[in-house]
Structure 1
Amino acid sequence: MSEFKQTFNSSLGKKLIMALTGLFLCTFLIVHLSGNLSLFNHDHGYAFNAYANFMTHFPPIRVVSYLLYLSIIVHSVYALILTINNRKARPVSYASGNDSPQSWSAKNMGILGSILLVFIVIHMKDFWFKYHQEDFSENAEYVIPYKEYKKDLVSGELLSARDLPPGKYNYAVFTEGNVETMIAKDLYQTVEIAFKQWWYVLFYVVALGALSFHLLHGFQSSFRTLGWVHRRYNGIIYQIGVWLFAIIIPLGFAAMPVVYYLTR
Structure 2
Amino acid sequence: MSELKQTFNSSLGKKLIMALTGLFLSLFLIVHLGGNLLLFSNDDGYSFNMYANFLTHFPPIEVIAYLLYLAIIVHAIYALVLTIKNRKARSVGYAVATKSPVSFSSKNMGLLGSILLVFIVIHMGDFWYKYKFTHDVGYKEYRTDITSGERTVTDFKPEKPDFEHSLSYADNTEITRVKDIHSRVANSFSILWYVVIYVIAMVALSFHLLHGFESAFRTFGWVHRKYLPIIKFVGVWLFAVIIPLGFAAMPIVYYLQSLK
Question: Shorter-chain-normalised TM-score: which range?
Answer: over 0.9
| Letter in structure 2 aligned against 1:55 | L
| Letter in structure 2 aligned against 1:163 | D
Q: Give the alignment of 1:14-93 within 5 angstroms.
A: 14-93=14-93
TM-score (norm: length of structure 1): 0.93
| Letter in structure 2 aligned against 1:205 | V
Structure 1 residues 107, 232: CA separation in 2 closer, same or farther (over 3 Å shift)? same
Aligned to 2:9: 9
Following superposition, the deviation at residue 94 of structure 1 comes to: 2.2
| Letter in structure 2 aligned against 1:6 | Q
Aligned to 1:258: 252
Aligned to 1:198: 192
C-alpha distance in 1 between matches for 2:96 and 2:241: 26
| Letter in structure 1 aligned against 2:34 | S
Following superposition, the deviation at residue 178 of structure 1 comes to: 4.1
CA contact (8 A) 1:145 1:166 kept: no
Q: CA RMSD of the aligned region, Å? A: 1.3
Secondary structure at the aligned position of 1:216 is classed as helix
Following superposition, the deviation at residue 75 of structure 1 comes to: 0.1
Instruction: List runs of 5+ in structure 2 lacking aligned partners.
Output: none
| Letter in structure 1 aligned against 2:221 | G
1:170 is the counterpart of 2:164:
yes
Aligned to 2:222: 228
CA contact (8 A) 1:151 1:181 kept: yes
C-alpha distance in 1 between matches for 2:222 and 2:32: 25
Secondary structure at the aligned position of 1:224 is classed as helix
TM-score (norm: length of structure 2): 0.95
1:98 is the counterpart of 2:91:
no
Q: Share of identical aligned residues, percent? A: 64
Which of 148, 164, 177 pairs up with 2:141?
Answer: 148
Secondary structure at the aligned position of 2:43 is classed as coil
C-alpha distance in 2 between matches for 1:81 and 1:156: 55
Following superposition, the deviation at residue 93 of structure 1 comes to: 1.8
Instruction: List runs of 5+ in structure 1 lacking aligned partners.
Output: 135-141
1:108 is the counterpart of 2:108:
yes
User: Which has the larger displacement, 192-201 or 171-180?
Assistant: 171-180
Following superposition, the deviation at residue 44 of structure 1 comes to: 0.9
C-alpha distance in 2 between matches for 1:154 and 1:248: 39
Structure 1 residues 155, 102: CA separation in 2 closer, same or farther (over 3 Å shift)? farther
**CA deviation string 1:94-149 (max 9, x = no partner):** 22353210111000000000000000000011001101114xxxxxxx31111100
1:245 is the counterpart of 2:247:
no
C-alpha distance in 1 between matches for 2:198 and 2:171: 43
Following superposition, the deviation at residue 166 of structure 1 comes to: 5.4
How many aligned positions are there? 256
Secondary structure at the aligned position of 1:228 is classed as coil
Aligned to 1:214: 208
